[in-house]
Amino acid sequence: MSLRGYINELEKRKLLTIIDDTVDSNLEIAKLMKEYSNSAILFKKVKNTKYPLIGNLLQSRSWFNLLLKSNKKEMYEKLNNASTKAKYPEETDFSTSFEVETEVDFNQLPIPKFFPKDGGRYLTSAIVIAKNPETGKVNASIHRIMILSKNEGIIRLVPRDLYQIFHSNRKNGRNTPIALIIGYHPLIALAASTPLKYGESELSVANTLLENGIKVIRTPIFGIDVPVDVEFVIEGEIIADETEEEGPFVDITGTLDTKRIQPVIRFKKLYHRKNAVFQTILPAHEEHYLLMGFPKEAAIYSYVKKIVPEVHDLVLTSGGCGWLHAVISITQRKTGDAKNVALAAFAAHPSLKWCTVVNEDIDVNNPSSVEWATITRAGSGDIIIIDNIRGSSLDPSRNKNDDTSIKVIIDATKKENRNENEYNRIISD
């Protein structure tokens, strides 16, 4: 269950583009990843490094079918069940990830600068693994890391589990030991992007999704559990009382996230497989949307199913950056169901800004169809705006003093007090 097996599968299915020409990590890689957005892309030669680089490893929801062998509803159920019935991986004492040991020198790695206004080169695919000081279990989560020097980075911490682990250690005067893994099976990234209760381990979710296909091994310096046979492992510490300015960075909305004072990581040792392949994620594009958004879609599905039994489809839209706008297709039982469905979606995904609810005859993946339903079925009292409410820190239109914004409910469903024929679309798309 490694990255290499997944790459082989993509190649067999003609979903891999291989670039043999030498490319530059400064802006050119991002340009080519966008150009070849319908396939994974492997850069065999990157300027100033001996390591190849791969990206675009998840480019549509259909690739989840390849990974989970399920339709979308079944995938939601699998992810939700994996979160509640997770089994921690077995420990082993051998991993190819440690075949080569070397000093950390980020100047020797193919780490891109994606956009001209980014503050520097960024690790975007690194899964950060740290021990929870209260439970002893490891937390795994994806964080952007701006390269500061050959062995230092600045990590963007948001108020989730790693943030709590860091501040718990900091309060006790301790640095936070971490291990980065880079070059892994995509389901490990999906698990690392799935919100869990504080203290639970995302590696358990990954193991469950991969049908007990993961084993873990402890890192040499800090004894942190990492999955075996990942391409790279880098050990280091988030320094308790050392910060630097991080950013700006083009985040999921495609706009510049602001500069922030964030903790410094000092790295101690790098390990990798022989002939290792480095990995990256292009910000503000499909893989970024899917990894952040798909676990939230699964959570929304679970919440909404408690309100109405027939949830036909849902999506966090590309126009909403895979994060801020949900469209949900349901069968209404009674007036008011659509608004309750939207409130459930906001509870499942607190960063959500807009929620549009439609009937089963509307294709949630077709923006034209959704707009048609909004224009023809949302009338007086069907659009509700809740103002001055906590929103997403990624929303450029938020009030930056307190991160408040709006939440919008659009009930674009057929209404009980109207003739059914008035709502039916006679022509097709």
Catalytic residues: 251
| Residue entry with tokens 């009292």 | 381
Q: Which amino acid is at 352?
A: L
Instruction: Provide the Cα torsion 95, 97, 99, 104; round to 10°.
Output: -140
- One DSSP character per residue, 123-191 reads E-SPEEEEE-TTT-PEEEEE--EEEEETTEEEE---TTHHHHHHHHHHHTT--EEEEEEES--HHHHHH
- Cis, bond preceding 159 (omega within 30 deg of 0): no
> Which residues on neighbouring strands pair with residue 386, listed in sequence order?
407
Number of alpha carbons in the 13 Å side-chain half-sphere of residue 73: 9
Give the integer Cα–Cα distance in Å for 147 and 216.
Answer: 28
The Cβ of residue 11 has, within 10 Å, a number of other Cβ atoms equal to 14
Give the integer Cα–Cα distance in Å for 328 and 344.
Answer: 11
DSSP three-state, residue 19: strand
For residues 141-176, one letter each, b for 16 or more C-beta atoms within 10 angstroms of the residue's C-beta and e for the rest, the string is bbbbbbbbeebbbbbbbeeebbebbbeebbeeeebb
Q: How far is CA 329 from CA 62, 158, 305, 313, 366, in A?
A: 19, 32, 11, 5, 12
Which residue in 295, 354, 292 sits closest to 328, CA to CA?
A: 354
